[in-house]
Amino acid sequence: MPGVPWAQVAILHLLQALDFAAERHSAQRRKGPDAAPYVNHLIEVATLVANVGQVDDVEVLIAAVLHDVLEDTPTSADEVTERFGERVCRFVRALSDDKALPRKRRREITLEELPEMEALVKVIKLADLSSNIKLLPPNWSEDRKLEYLEWSERAATICSACPGDARGPRSDARRLKPSALWFVRARLPSHCQERARTSARRARTPLLATVRRRALLARATWGRNRSRTCWRRLENHRR
């Protein structure tokens, strides 16, 4: 666009990506209690990348907006490349799972591939984890929630390690680390309490097993000091 300032062009491209994503995800809703439009998640991910990750590369922000378009809609990689460029498509493909595989295998592949991903892809992944963890589906069981939180913290830790990569700044991924891990650690205590209340209502659940679970969860959530306290209670109960 000759004669148009670069910043204005960048904003226009980002708005085009938002419009494209909103149209492609129009039938989707978030799995939270209010079933918000899915585009809210995409906006939040891009906002985290920009505000927390302090990334001002418009192609990275566009990739953040489009990060689920290949995975969750019939959109093809060729279409993304044609509309938004090869670099954006490369980022989006790196962030897309193969839905033909079982969920457990998809998560294993993610953990295997994350260490080799470009640094800026890891920034988007951290923002995606942050957004997802902030609002877990209310119909998930406590076991599934905890399983997802534990997997998310492993993925966030890999992203935050972020080895030197000439294709993207290390500092961006490192800077976003507290946001991703904060959501994990902030959410875990409430899940621990809900799980403990559920266990207490079940007469067949022995106190020993309840305390052991609390100790294990405390070690992951509140640190070693709280965990030692729970283990002392466990030892006292055994006596």
82 is catalytic: no
Catalytic residue among 23, 57, 68, 72: 72
Weakest-pLDDT range from 2-6, 12-16, 82-86: 2-6
Calpha distance 164→48 (Å, rounded) = 22
Beta-strand ranges (E) seen in the chain are none
Residue 82 pLDDT level (bands cut at 50, 70, 90): very high
Name, in order, each residue with C-beta under 8 angstroms of 113's C-beta and a sequence gap of 6 or more: 94
Query: What DSSP string runs through 63-116?
Result: HHHTTTHHHHSS--HHHHHHHH-HHHHHHHHHT---TTS-HHHHHHHHHHHGGG
Domain boundaries, the chain: 6-201, 202-239
CATH of 6-201, one of 1.10.3210.10, 3.40.605.10, 1.10.10.10, 3.30.465.10: 1.10.3210.10
Weakest-pLDDT range from 123-137, 152-166, 167-181: 167-181
Calpha distance 162→156 (Å, rounded) = 10
Calpha distance 147→156 (Å, rounded) = 14
- What pLDDT does residue 188 have? 47
Q: Which amino acid is at 218?
A: A
72 is catalytic: yes
Residue 84 has pLDDT above 70, yes or no: yes
Model pTM? 0.70
Catalytic residue among 34, 56, 68, 71: 71
Q: Which structure tokens are listed for 105?
A: 């295998």
